[in-house]
Chain A
Amino acid sequence: MASAPSKLYADDVSLVVVLLDTNPFFWSSSSLSFSQFLSHVLAFLNAILTLNQLNQVVVIATGYNSCDYVFDSSSDLNRSFENGRMPVMCSSLLQKLEEFLIKDEQLSKEEPEGKIKSSLFSGSLSMALCYIQRVFRSGALHPHPRILCLQGSPDGPEQYVAIMNAIFSAQRSSVPIDSCYLGSQNSAFLQQASYITAGVHHKPQNLDGLFQYLMTIFATDLHSRSFIHLPKPVGVDFRASSVFGQAQSEAASASDKKRKTPET
């Protein structure tokens, strides 16, 4: 990692780890096409890098069978891909993404019918946290890290424990998890993650303007969040734990069961 001269370091230097959802099953049925989505995201990443000279961006692809790093703005390997059509950074990202998808497809195996097709969100979250830990140990001068999740796939209940573990460790290391949900329903995991780690959660109403959402809400660095107002959810769905049990019963139904009377 390139060392930064200390006098250039300001409060708003940030490291954004973007978790990109590349679940093919979701994208094949989404109203937003994957290429449009990629345009929005690539422009957004470029914008972050222009906000501050020392900003860093890391992209992790959340696939269906695996997760992998596809882009690191601080690495020097970005020079090799020249393409007249687009900035260098984008082309290297796309190349790596394609390779990742090929690998991911090779890992796929027979799945039973009716299974929820969720992406490996817990895996990419853990990878992001590991990267951030490494940044923390790189010295006194390091950017403020945060995680941005661009998810559309539904929540996979089998990942509940792993995701909660990751959320709590992010909370302990004071790493906010921002989340932008692109699917049609609600994601309880993302809401909880942002609530617990004091990040921002938003579900864009109009996916054509995704870039505007990203710029307005998710480009804000951590220092500015103390005086810039960001959208707050009215309520957080903490019901993810009830996936494993029965729904909450009302007080009225409890009276029908025989209760042991206290000693009188």
Chain B
Amino acid sequence: MASTHVTKRAKYKTTIKDPGTPGTLRMTFEKILFVPHNPKSAGKLDVEFRYIKGQKHTKEGSNKPPWLNLTNNQNGSFIFEFENYSDLQECRDFVGKVLAKGGEVSEKPTVAYPDEQLSAAEMELRIKLLQEDSELQKLHKQFVLSGVLTETEFWATRKKLLDREVSKKTKQWLGFKSAMISDIKPSTDGRTNKVTFNLTPEVILQIFAEKPAVHRAFLSYVPNKMSERTFWTKYFRAEYLHSTKNSIAAAAEAAEDEELAVFLKQDDILASEAQKKIRRVDPTLDMEADEGDDYTHLPDHGIFREGNKEMTESQNELYKRSLSQDINRHAAVVLEGRAVDVELEDTKAVAEALAQSKQKSSNKGESDGDISRERLDRLSRMTEIEDLQGPNTLPLAPLCIKDPRDYFDSQQANALRTSGDALGGIEQIKCGLSTQEVYGSLRESISSIKAMGLKEPIVKPEVAHQVFDALTNSISNTKYHIGKNPQESVLDRLPRKTKEELLHHWTSILELLKHFWASYPITTTYLYAKVNRLKDAMSNIYPQLEEIKGSVPSELRHQVSLLVRPMHQALDAAIQHYEASMQKRSAQSGERPNGYV
């Protein structure tokens, strides 16, 4: 019952040995009030729920009396003895509810920023992310643990990462076990000749899914005609009879007990379902067999039949069940998947849930009037005779392909306009001559060379020598500075530690700058403090970069300083901006005597 308070008669004990003071226990969402019946006794108790940390209780099945033990956060405990276990249960639920609610607004040790609802799952996610990505962990350690950035800020920009982790853990429905139920062995007691089956709701669900006749029998017989226990006893008796493969005995027992007969007969629901499925098979399915399908003529295949075939009794045919039928049915059910996805504790609930889901799926099946019409359409399309078809003129949409040059030309004009000479001056060939003249001059050159032959000498020796020298010089210089491989970059030539440090500095600078620029314009004190912190952290990076430059051998120093330069530029820009805004502020605050805060 969802009430806002619980009142019960109980005895309050301070320790286990204490006989307890009888009285009334009243619990509301805020506090626990215990008033003893005897106003003179000293057991009055008035405790706020805030102080209650946890609860313990004695189990119902044990021989102990119903006790509820509430522990508070000073490690004291309040023990209440109830009259019966249902009272205890009620109080326990209530306390559980209150404690769960209370846990959400627990105080946090660092209260410098607005409260953040951090569920345990989210903490776990963050820890997992940190463990997986060492780069992230280094950044986290550097900034958050040293107080430059707070947790919230750090993770605020990484929402996408967290979301991705969450979506990875999508709920997957657990299917049925592949092992057959008949493989579940009961425990046999040799002495008393009793066989004990252990039924869990899981197994029951599987039995109902595989054998719809049993399901139907359960729904109709229990609890009207027989108890659940009797039902299962009869079911297992039927199973036993099947396993002995004694169809005569099965027929005999079925004749006596009509309920047992239900379990022994063939499953008629299954039969009708199978018939429906056969009617729905697509006639256009190509079932042509090829050589690979013919396994019967392989050597060593099949069982040799010799002599007499077994004559089967037709009247007992009804009570036989073959292994292949069982296996096929089991496989079909496992592949269909689990229709009921709830933790069920009660057989009755299981049966009803399964019936409900079947109802739903049969409702969906009724709408397959459309489906059958669609199938007929498809059939007629697949079996059409081309000669008898009419002309197939579909309306064609006219193609509309625009000239890409319109786009590119306009963009080019844009680019030239906005960036001025940032393009490095695309060469505009000033051509005063017309097309004709231009082509004409080219053709003239060709004719002249045809007439005169190749230039003699092709290249003058001094020029060649000059070119050769220059090339050799430049090649050897660049090889020294940059390296042989055209794809190699400067970073690869640095010692590994330096390279890692430089890269780490880059990422940390980016992180700091991200937060720095995002805090402008400064509107609250919080942002103001944050910006100060970030600026201090940024100033600390300069000496670190100098150190790296110093640690590198002298021939690489120039390269390293080239790499470090953009970092300096970015930091300088940020610090400049900071100082400019500080000046503006102090100019403004000069007017107010109290200062602007």
Contact = CB atoms under 8 A, between A and B. Distances in A.
B466 A209 contact: yes
A79 interface: no
A39 B441 contact: no
Interface stretch (B17-25, B269-277, B443-451, B500-508): B443-451
Q: Which of B438, B443, B451, B520 has the most CB of A within 10 A?
A: B438
Contact of A243 (B411, B433, B458, B467): B411
Given A154-B429, A185-B427, A246-B419, A262 B446 contact: no
A90 interface: yes
Interface stretch (B152-160, B190-198, B535-543): B152-160
28 contacts: A27-B441, A29-B429, A29-B430, A35-B445, A83-B450, A85-B451, A85-B452, A86-B450, A101-B443, A105-B439, A116-B412, A117-B429, A117-B431, A158-B412, A160-B408, A185-B426, A185-B427, A209-B460, A211-B464, A212-B459, A212-B467, A231-B474, A231-B478, A242-B419, A258-B521, A259-B517, A259-B520, A264-B153
Given A98-B446, A206-B463, A250 B411 contact: no
B446 A243 contact: no
A156 to B, nearest CB: 9
B487 A251 contact: no
Interface in B443-494: 443, 445-455, 458-460, 463-464, 466-468, 470-471, 474-476, 478-479, 482, 484, 486-487
A232 B477 CA distance: 10
Nearest to B405: A158
Contacts of B458: 39-40, 43, 211
A243 B438 contact: no
B517 A254 contact: yes
Contact of B429 (A26, A43, A158): A26
Given A209-B463, A212-B459, A34 B442 contact: yes
B459 A186 contact: no
Given A26-B429, A158-B405, A43 B446 contact: no
B424 A185 contact: yes
A213 B471 contact: yes
B39 to A, nearest CB: 55
Interface string B515-551: 1011111000011000000000000000000000000
Interface of A: 22, 24-29, 33-36, 38-40, 42-43, 83, 85-86, 90-91, 94, 97-98, 101-102, 104-105, 108, 114-117, 154-155, 157-158, 160, 183-186, 195, 198, 200, 204-206, 208-213, 216-217, 229-232, 234, 237, 239, 242-247, 250-252, 254-255, 258-264
B427 to A, nearest CB: 4
Given A231-B471, A263-B156, A38 B459 contact: no
Given A42-B454, A43-B458, A198 B438 contact: no
Interface of B: 113-114, 152-153, 156-157, 404-405, 408-409, 411-412, 415, 418-419, 422-431, 433, 435-439, 441-443, 445-455, 458-460, 463-464, 466-468, 470-471, 474-476, 478-479, 482, 484, 486-487, 513, 515, 517-521, 526-527, 570, 573-574, 576-577
B427 A184 contact: yes
A200 B411 CA distance: 31
Contacts of B409: 115, 158
B570 A251 contact: yes
A229 B475 contact: yes
Q: Which 7 pairs between the two chains have the least Cβ-Cβ distance? A: A209-B467, A158-B408, A39-B455, A85-B453, A34-B445, A24-B438, A35-B445
A94 B479 contact: no
A55 to B, nearest CB: 19
Nearest to B157: A262
Nearest to B406: A158
A116 B426 contact: yes
A10 to B, nearest CB: 24
B463 A35 contact: no
A157 B471 contact: no
A43 B315 CA distance: 104
Given A42-B454, A212-B464, A264-B152, A251 B573 contact: yes
A86 B411 contact: no
A183 B426 CA distance: 11
B478 A198 contact: no
Contacts of B113: 264
A158 B574 CA distance: 38
B446 A247 contact: no
A217 B471 contact: yes
B188 to A, nearest CB: 65
Given A26-B429, A213-B467, 7 more contacts: A35-B445, A97-B446, A105-B435, A116-B426, A183-B427, A244-B411, A261-B519
Contacts of A185: 424-427
B429 A157 contact: no
B421 to A, nearest CB: 10
A7 B441 CA distance: 48
A144 to B, nearest CB: 18
Contact of B450 (A94, A184, A242): A94
Contacts of B418: 246-247
Contacts of A244: 408, 411, 415
B475 A231 contact: yes
Given A29-B430, A231-B475, A157 B411 contact: yes
Contact of B460 (A101, A208, A230): A208
Contacts of B441: 24, 27-28, 34
Contacts of A154: 426-429
A231 B573 CA distance: 37
Contacts of A232: 475, 478-479, 482, 486
A105 B439 CA distance: 7
Q: Which of B157, B476, B520 has the most CB of A within 10 A?
A: B520
A244 B448 CA distance: 42
A19 to B, nearest CB: 17
A38 B452 CA distance: 12
Nearest to B452: A85
A183 B424 CA distance: 14
A42 B456 CA distance: 13
A57 to B, nearest CB: 16
A38 B442 CA distance: 11
B156 A264 contact: yes
Nearest to A240: B423
Contacts of B459: 40, 208-212
Nearest to B438: A24
A155 B470 CA distance: 27
A94 B446 contact: yes
